[in-house]
Amino acid sequence: MPRRSSLKVGISGIRGIVGETLTPQLVTTFSEAFGTFVGPGSVIVGRDTRLSGEMMKNAVFAGLLAVGCKPIDVGISPVPSILIKTNRTDAVGAIAITASHNPVQWNALKFVGGNGLFLNRYEAQELLDTYHQSEFALVETDAHKAVARDDDPVREHFAAVLSYLDVETIRKRNFKVVFDSCNGAGSTFTPRFLEMLGCEVVGINNVPDGLFPRNPEPKPENITQLCETVKAEQADIGFAQDADADRLAIVDEQGRAIGEELTVSLAVKHVLSRKRGPVVVNLSTTAIVDRIAEEFDCPVIRTRIGEVNVAEAMIAHRAVIGGEGNGGVMVPAIHPCRDSFVGMGIVLQSLAENGNTVSELVAELPRCFMVKETVDCSTEVAHSAMTSLRKKHMRDAQVDTRDGLKITYPDGSWIHIRPSNTEAVMRLAAESPSAEKARDLTRRFTEEISSLC
């Protein structure tokens, strides 16, 4: 029997295990609903390298064609490239076929508006209503369009990033870079991008065959091969991406993973040193960002989890930089989306301008200790568990209930607990100036949540 918990429907689109709850019929029907939602016009369709991607893509085409849309097949493509292409062409929307950091048996549809942003929760609800009502704008045979193809999905994306960077300064350093794309969407495009920046490139796990050699989430425990290769190659830096190439993790010149939170921290410091302005991050992102912003007398705005929440706040507040602590750097001057390529470029430019090593850049950042944990919890139980947690801890220090429960203590320590948007788990992130306090907060709340789930 299919497990209900393996299908997630929400602000992040629809995501599930292929062959269990994520079927061609479901994909086609959701694509019909999306085509009805955005109306007739061109819809960009791209995917990561998962083996199920070709099946999913053809099911998407069927749904879009049925309601009079013209699919533009961009093939295997980084998600930020899909978003930027949508924004800079006449497309009425896009569908990205990727389960991002999830294991290979998962896949997903991520829905994009004509502005190149993922649907927000109101738009996602409208799409979901269209799906449930099943009143699709089906067209007669003579209104069916042909599928078109675009063989250079990164053209607009890379042009925008390169125009933002000081390319000549980066090229003069002739960095030696090791990259690990997890055989995902970045496999083909990352070496091309780094070579544009004059880098000597060493690739591992860069065959776009969808056979992931590691867990796609670029957390320190999953990128040990990259750490070893950076050290063996005596490289200046290592970069790791997830399967759809929107998240970036960094390894320093000594072969040490610095943690995804510091990807955004390094980008924020570099950008604010050149242009001051608001910073937007989500509730789970490290407080190091706040301390960096204080140095430049810049405000920090925090949002609910979800890329579109950060993106819309960046636009509303005219932010100059932001992102999410999972390695998602967002630069609105290019496009307000998570983008591993602009993250790579910013860090390389910072190294080039300052003449530092990665470890020296990290040593200049304020110091905090973060612990992240997950607890298995079905979608059905998560809501009642969160209600219990809020009731019990509402009077604990400073409480924020916009997205789950975030408790901030007088010493600057905090913990954020929320149901995942993409998996049947509760996510915990705790941070403190004290490593012991961060571990203690995580342990205490993990035990409590386990008893509720």
Please identify which residue in the block is written with the tokens 């957390």: 219
Annotated active-site residue 52? The verdict is no
CA dist., res. 324 & res. 337, Å (int): 10
* Structural tokens at position 432: 């403190």
Task: Say if CB 184 and CB 243 are below 8 A apart.
Answer: yes
Q: If you count them, how many residues does the chain have? A: 453
Task: Say if CB 432 and CB 425 are below 8 A apart.
Answer: no
CA dist., res. 413 & res. 418, Å (int): 17
Q: Cα angle at 336 between 265 and 371, to 5 degrees?
A: 35
Phi, psi of 70 (to 5 degrees): -110, 105
CA dist., res. 291 & res. 275, Å (int): 17
Taking alpha carbons only, the member of 338, 344, 325 closest to residue 165 is 344
CA dihedral 198, 204, 208, 213 (to 10 degrees): -150
Pairing of strands 93-97, 42-47: parallel
Residue 26 DSSP class: H
Write down the H helix ranges in 134-259. 155-164, 167-173, 186-196, 224-233
CA dist., res. 144 & res. 67, Å (int): 8
Please identify which residue in the block is written with the tokens 């990665």: 358
Q: Point out the catalytic residue in the list 100, 284, 340, 420.
A: 100
Contacts of residue 117, defined as CB under 8 A and 6 or more positions apart, other chains included, come to 83, 87, 308, 311, 312, 336, 337
Contacts of residue 62, defined as CB under 8 A and 6 or more positions apart, other chains included, come to 28, 31
Taking alpha carbons only, the member of 315, 314, 292, 299 closest to residue 365 is 292
Task: Say if CB 202 and CB 223 are below 8 A apart.
Answer: no
* Structural tokens at position 406: 């975030």
Please identify which residue in the block is written with the tokens 């591993």: 340
CA dist., res. 112 & res. 96, Å (int): 8
Amino acid at 222: N
* Structural tokens at position 46: 């791209």
| Active-site annotation, residues | 100
